[in-house]
């Protein structure tokens, strides 16, 4: 007899202690009777861990929020007889998805015969959502004429895919795809920390090898995120170069090419953005805001504000208060 669990609209938005609003990425997972619970559960768990890892970080954290979807909505039963609640594929959540995963599982053969499911997948918001298959879910992508984003990025042929059917393979496949998402969204460090949290030591090295060594571009992007998280501290470009394991000159060259700004400009922008948020959302005096944003003094903050915004920090704060009232 199937057991029912409350798994509807799996919101994973962790409480982020950041100065601005968290960025939310909506992840939809398409289910059908006979889907692999362990594959879907692995994907959800790794995204949940990612949210938890970011809770202690400052800066613009990216929060994953998951919606479970199916052709008609309502209760769907996994291959292990666990029932989960879902929303309809043609609903608002489906259209709002930034990333869409098609679950794998032993029920994929019956799902391929579900004309309603195939037609709905064909209408997937491909212009907005990155679509991926999990294990045997690739068969549904192929039947719907859709391409798998992760396969395309990794240079793999969707139609030559070896669809896993064993429980262990479904879990490993879901983990690899989830880590690929984390690596692109948040960087190699978060992805590797997430896999270390999820797996025992025996399997960590295997998963890290699947992720590959970070490229110079990925190291640069990770260092940019590091600057955003640490802009309130007395950090320097040299410190950021160390996080990327590059010399100062090499780092500056890669950073400008990848981010469009020099590291110093990027750091100053991050500090100014944090200053604006503190001015708008707190009663802290100007000198204290300057110290909390790595700008050393209220005098320097005032000069930067007049140069960038043609107004003082006090005038900026007053204008923001007027805007919030109106």
Judgement on whether residues 188 and 226 belong to the same structural domain of the protein: no
Question: Which of 194, 211, 228 lies at the terminal end of a domain, its last residue?
Answer: 211
- Give the Cα separation of 124 and 130 in Å (integer): 10
Answer with the one of 190, 211, 232 that is the final residue of a domain. Answer: 211
Whether 202 and 223 map to the same domain: the answer is: no
- Same domain? For 275 and 321 the reply is yes
Q: How many residues does the chain have?
A: 326
Q: Are residues 129 and 156 in the same domain?
A: yes
Which residues span the domain enclosing 41?
3-211
Of 211, 237, 267, the residue that ends a domain is 211
Question: Cα–Cα distances in Å, from 324 out to 241, 244, 285, 305?
Answer: 39, 40, 20, 20
Q: What is the CATH number of the domain that holds 250?
A: 1.10.10.60
Q: Tens digit of pLDDT for each residue in 31-75?
A: 999 999 988 998 998 898 888 888 766 555 788 999 999 998 899
- Strand 82-88, strand 62-70: pairing: parallel
68 with 18, same domain?
Answer: yes
Q: Does 254 lie in the same domain as 200?
A: no
Ramachandran angles phi, psi of 76, nearest 5°:
-125, 140
Mean model confidence pLDDT for the chain: 79
Encode pLDDT of 229-270 as tens digits.
888 888 888 888 887 878 888 889 889 988 899 999 999 999
Q: How many CB atoms lie within 10 A of CB 318?
A: 13
Count helices and strands in the chain by DSSP H and E runs = 16, 7
Domains contained in the chain, number? 2
132 shares its domain with 24: yes
Q: Decide if pLDDT at 312 tops 90.
A: yes
Give which of 177, 167, 52, 30 is closest to 100, Cα–Cα: 30
| Angular region, 135: left φ>0, alpha ψ -120 to 50, beta rest | left
| Residue whose C-alpha is closest to residue 71's, from 37, 25, 122, 145 | 122
Model confidence pLDDT, tens digit, residues 165-181: 455 577 777 888 888 88
């Amino acid at each position: 007899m199937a057991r029912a669990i409350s798994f509807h609209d799996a919101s994973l938005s962790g409480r982020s202690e950041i100065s601005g609003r968290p960025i939310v990425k909506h992840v939809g997972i398409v289910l059908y009777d006979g889907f692999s619970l362990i594959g879907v559960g692995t994907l959800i768990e790794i995204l949940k861990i990612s949210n938890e890892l970011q809770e202690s970080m400052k800066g613009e954290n990216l929060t994953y929020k998951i919606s479970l979807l199916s052709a008609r909505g309502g209760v769907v039963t996994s291959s292990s007889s666990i029932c989960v609640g879902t929303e309809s594929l043609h609903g608002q959540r489906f259209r709002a998805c930034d990333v869409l995963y098609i679950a794998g599982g032993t029920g994929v053969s019956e799902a391929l015969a579900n004309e309603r499911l195939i037609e709905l997948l064909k209408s997937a918001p491909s212009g907005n959502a990155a679509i991926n298959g999990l294990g045997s879910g690739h068969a549904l992508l192929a039947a719907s004429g859709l391409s798998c984003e992760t396969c395309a990025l990794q240079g793999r042929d969707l139609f030559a895919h070896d669809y896993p059917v064993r429980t262990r393979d479904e879990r490993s496949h879901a983990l690899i795809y989830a880590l690929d998402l984390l690596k692109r969204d948040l960087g190699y460090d978060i992805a590797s920390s997430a896999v270390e949290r999820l797996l025992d030591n025996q399997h960590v090295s295997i998963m890290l090898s699947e992720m590959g060594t970070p490229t110079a571009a990925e190291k640069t992007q990770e260092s940019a995120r590091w600057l955003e998280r640490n802009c309130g501290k007395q950090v320097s470009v040299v410190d950021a170069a160390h996080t990327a394991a590059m010399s100062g000159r090499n780092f500056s060259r890669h950073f400008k090419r990848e981010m469009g700004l020099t590291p110093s400009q990027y750091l100053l922008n991050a500090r100014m953005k944090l200053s604006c948020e503190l001015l708008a959302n707190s009663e802290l005096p100007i000198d204290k805001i300057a110290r909390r944003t790595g700008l050393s003094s209220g005098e320097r903050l005032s000069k930067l504000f007049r140069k960038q915004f043609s107004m003082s920090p006090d005038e900026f704060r007053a204008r923001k208060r007027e805007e919030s009232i109106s």
